[in-house]
């Protein structure tokens, strides 16, 4: 029950964070917003580990896995995510992330030798087809002017980096690190790497004191990062990273509703067809262990 319930909580939270990210885009550099978000989240996770007496010590091998996880899952993935949302509606980015399940299956098969049931591959491919239909429709709707294509392209880089982040989280698990402490370290490393990059490139680390910016930042840090990522990486250790990542296929309906309500987005039949394929693939993924032998 923790697996299904936790995935649903993650889906609800992440289904709304896509819009919250758009509230971070403005006077503050996206890189700075990501640093504030994951820096705060890492601090809260470290504090939580101390309060609940979870061991924060990692071996050198575990630290390397956490560093790689942080670089891909938090630094690279979210840098491209924030950039993509400057070009396309937040719901489009959310649906693009539905391809994470397929990418996880491929990566874990090639790099870790993990086999998945045929039904899992079928569900993941349906999800990938849905992403292709929806994103392709958005590019065509934009008149092929390059704006939508750039946004979707950036989102695809982001989701690919996220898949590598999942892989290195698994490497940390294999090396014996606990879920929450390793996630705290990964966020800290990701924050540090982005901050260092910002200092080298001359980025301005400012903050917008408005209620909208601060409120969305707190929501993204506490709910979108501490709670959602803490749950996600805990669940993934129980049901596997490919299965846990189907949360990415459950977020689009929520993200699309939020985008319609708050961004004024309009989705046609192509988008709905893409969403239907994603959800059909998700249903097949959930039933995969029963359908396959």
Q: What is the DSSP letter of 264?
A: -
What are the pLDDT digits (tens) for 111-128? 888 887 787 888 888 877
Contact 24, 196 (CB under 8 A): no
Distances (CA, A) of 89 to 191, 214, 254: 26, 21, 13
pLDDT bucket at 263, cuts 50 / 70 / 90: confident
Between CA 40 and CA 188 the distance in angstroms is 9
Q: What is the DSSP letter of 26?
A: S
**Model's pTM, two decimal places?**
0.89
Between CA 227 and CA 8 the distance in angstroms is 12
Q: Which residues, in sequence order, are CB contacts of 187 under 8 Å at separation 6+?
A: 38, 39, 41, 42, 45, 70, 74, 225, 229
Q: What is the mean pLDDT of residues 187-213?
A: 96
């Amino acid at each position: 029950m923790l697996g299904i319930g936790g995935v649903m909580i993650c889906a609800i939270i992440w289904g709304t964070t896509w819009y919250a990210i758009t509230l971070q885009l403005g006077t503050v550099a996206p890189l700075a917003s990501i640093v504030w978000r994951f820096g705060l989240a890492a601090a809260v996770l470290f504090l939580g580990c101390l309060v609940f007496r979870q061991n924060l010590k990692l071996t050198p091998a575990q630290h390397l896995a956490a560093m790689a996880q942080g670089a891909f899952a938090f630094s690279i993935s979210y840098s491209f995510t924030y950039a993509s949302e400057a070009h396309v509606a937040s719901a489009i980015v959310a649906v693009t992330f539905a391809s994470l399940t397929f990418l996880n299956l491929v990566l874990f098969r090639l790099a870790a030798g993990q086999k998945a049931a045929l039904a899992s591959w079928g569900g993941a491919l349906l999800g990938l087809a849905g992403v292709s239909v929806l994103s392709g429709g958005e590019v065509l709707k934009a008149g092929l002017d390059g704006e939508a294509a750039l946004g979707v392209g950036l989102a695809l880089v982001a989701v690919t980096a996220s898949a590598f982040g999942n892989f290195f989280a698994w490497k940390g698990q294999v090396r014996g690190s606990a879920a929450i402490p390793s996630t705290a370290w990964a966020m800290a490393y990701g924050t540090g790497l982005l901050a260092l990059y910002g200092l080298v490139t001359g980025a301005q680390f400012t903050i917008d004191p408005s209620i909208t910016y601060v409120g969305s930042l707190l929501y993204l840090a506490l709910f979108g990062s501490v709670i959602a990522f803490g749950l996600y990486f805990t669940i993934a250790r129980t049901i596997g990273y490919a299965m846990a990542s189907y949360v990415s296929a459950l977020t689009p309906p929520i993200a699309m509703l939020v985008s319609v309500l708050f961004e004024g987005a309009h989705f046609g039949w192509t988008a709905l067809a893409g969403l239907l394929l994603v959800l059909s693939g998700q249903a097949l993924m959930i039933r995969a262990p029963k359908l396959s032998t």
